[in-house]
Structure 1
């Protein structure tokens, strides 16, 4: 389940509609949430159907590209914190899309093990081609909705020692998990499978403060895509961190989570973000 999307540099050549970049089939007739996200970021891994749906969202929420970049920078700041101050050396990035420039293995740096996970075979094939020469990076084809199978995947088990602290990243992912799939249960299963001192990073879309009409219109656009979107309130998102202690400043708007020390202002946020740590007691 691609969450934070195909994290691209914006320099790739746009595929012609109907082409099949990487291996596997691409359905270019249904808007894909990862490719829509790529379009918001100015990338080229998208098709006409994705651009058409994304433009509908932009007509409702014109600041969506700025919000997408804010989300991306939150991911990078969280990884820098984890690899630096928190001393984490293992990262499990679920719903990763394409690990290109500025993603987890680059930000975390040498000496860290990183496993990217996605349930899109095309994204996984492309990601594996990008990281095949990196000994500490692997890509697993697995689905968050089956956490036991995800944890048992040989790419996960072969690179991560779950008896040592692991950072689980779910960036722009859980708002694509409907309530009947029990996102809280999924997060709890992953929490229980990891060692004390492990961390959870979540960014999650919200419609807090958004008028009912545009909120409904935006959700309707995503109902025609590969993954209907489920925005949640701050209280609902906070419950996903049950069993974790929140790292300061807690669950806040994405741009407010440990902004850059140079005072560079963050852009608009469409969601909340937080980092939690599984206590050692």
Structure 2
């Protein structure tokens, strides 16, 4: 995943201003001797994640302390509890997140925080103008995606799919690459769920290629879809907690627009769609954008919890 310190460090002290109460927190933090690490970490534990991200955004030294090993259990507990908060906000049955062994829980907490922010903005925009997409939500989603938020990745895909509905052919090529690149980010944290998202993005691109008589490219993408679905099936038993986290307890069916909860079922359906589409198209025009780096090579590695 990302190096959060570098992310915050890149933003720190660039013309930003903080309310006085937050500056006082930083002042108190800076006045603590460096050798008194516990006291500095206590300040971080005692403030909310929205304040933590704001201060880390402003001060690189503060951001670096957020990664201290003695805060590992703190961020892990916050991450697990965040599931209840998000489920409550989305009016779903309450369920906490499972921990992700091997992943940076501070980054996960940042990701869910910025995703929640994006959905608060979304609700405000919907109420004010009856629009489901906005630049402010999109910006917050992109920040959440930087921190590996699977929920933000899926929501951002909705933006791309909406753009594809009105795109001309040349623009559609670029949008599909954007969709595939965004979708493959979900593999690292979400196991089978991520592979299902990635496979759907590739499958939609594959069928679009056939519809535009780009058969050679479609064949390569077809095989990439099958590989992704095979991996989704292979690691399905180990992805139970990852699927729960990503779907907020609703299951693998939330990973795709057809509501399929079986990679094998998805594979059978896609093969049928592909064969039907191929039977209706003519020869290959041998044109199109360059393949995504993952369309024709080995599957990406993933880190999942059991």
Higher strand share: 1
TM-score between the two structures when normalised by the length of structure 2: 0.30
Which structure would you say has the larger Rg? 2
TM-score (norm 1): 0.31
Q: Greater share of helix residues, 1 or 2?
A: 2
